[in-house]
Amino acid sequence: FFAVKTISLSKLRLQRDFQRIADKLNREVQILFKLRHPRIVSLFDVIEEHDKLHLVMELVDGGPEGIELFDYIVSRGSFTEPVARYVFLQIVDGLAFIHMKDIVYRDLKPENILVDEKASRREEGLFEVKLSDFGHSKLINDGYSTALTRVGTPQYWAPEVNDPVKAARGYDQTVDLWSLGVVLYVMLIGAYPFDGVGQPIEEQIRKARFNFRSQARGGQECSPQAQDLIRSLIRVDPKQRLKLDACRTHSWAALPGGILGGGQVNFAQADESRVEEERIRL
């Protein structure tokens, strides 16, 4: 089955910032057409009809908690380490493919990670996920395009995005590594590492200081291995952030439950042409 996202162009034209919205939509469409991967929501077709635009996309069915990973975190307070590990490695696989296509995600967060309930192993408490919403993503290394603007969600911003001066100089895919560390923190702790409480969030991000005390888990901290992985990603210096390949082989990821399906799958080599076309569910 497919999902059809219908956008009213006539209503969009009434918006003051129509051009910005149109540019964002066009960017998302162009990027999604380049991405065919098991961990990414696929766009199959774009149909323009009168004043409407129809995006024919992969259908992702959520569960009782909702469809966004964020809903599942809120429902549980936080994830156990085996569950977080299983989800984390899927995100790494999807992100690696995105980066291989010279794309900066720029808005990696649980709200943009969808849970595929039908494919999930609920009896084991394990979720299959897919990355979505590429409206803030940007192609780089194309000879003329550089990521310069402050986009995304502040709680997940890397310092070079958070600082307007640094953002104006440009940044690369390493901003996604910082966000990946924040996503893992949120899954395990059930709170943001940088929340603006006590001091401005910009200052918290600039210093990259946080602790691992989880209110949702009775004040217990996550394991030293998990803390090490998170700290290896949430680093002020972009060059020091742990690379995605190293995330896969980190000691925390190698623990039981850290290997997907009994063996690490290299989804970057996945066959992009394998698309099972059935019918459109309207």
Nearest by Cα to 33 from 171, 149, 137, 176: 137
> pTM above 0.75?
yes
188 and 51, same structural domain? no
Choice among 71, 107, 116, 176 that is catalytic? 107
The total number of structural domains that make up the chain: 2
Q: Catalytic: 116?
A: no
78 and 51, same structural domain? no
The tens place of each residue's pLDDT in the chain, 282 residues long, gives: 788 878 787 777 777 777 877 777 777 777 777 788 999 988 888 888 778 878 788 888 888 788 899 999 999 899 999 999 999 999 999 999 999 988 888 789 999 999 998 888 877 878 899 998 765 454 443 333 333 343 446 788 888 876 555 554 556 889 999 999 999 999 999 999 988 888 888 889 989 988 887 655 555 578 999 999 999 999 999 999 999 999 999 999 987 655 454 444 443 444 443 333 332 332
Cβ neighbours for 200, distance < 8 A, ≥ 6 positions apart:
none
144 and 86, same structural domain? yes
What CATH number has the domain bearing residue 45?
3.30.200.20
Measure the CA–CA gap between 125 and 223, rounded to whole angstroms. Answer: 20
- What range defines the domain where residue 133 resides? 69-249
28 and 165, same structural domain? no
Q: Are 218 and 130 in contact (CB under 8 A)?
A: no
142 and 31, same structural domain? no
Q: Is residue 158 part of a domain?
A: yes
Q: Is residue 167 part of a domain?
A: yes
What CATH number has the domain bearing residue 76?
1.10.510.10
164 and 138, same structural domain? yes
90 and 40, same structural domain? no
73 and 8, same structural domain? no
79 and 25, same structural domain? no
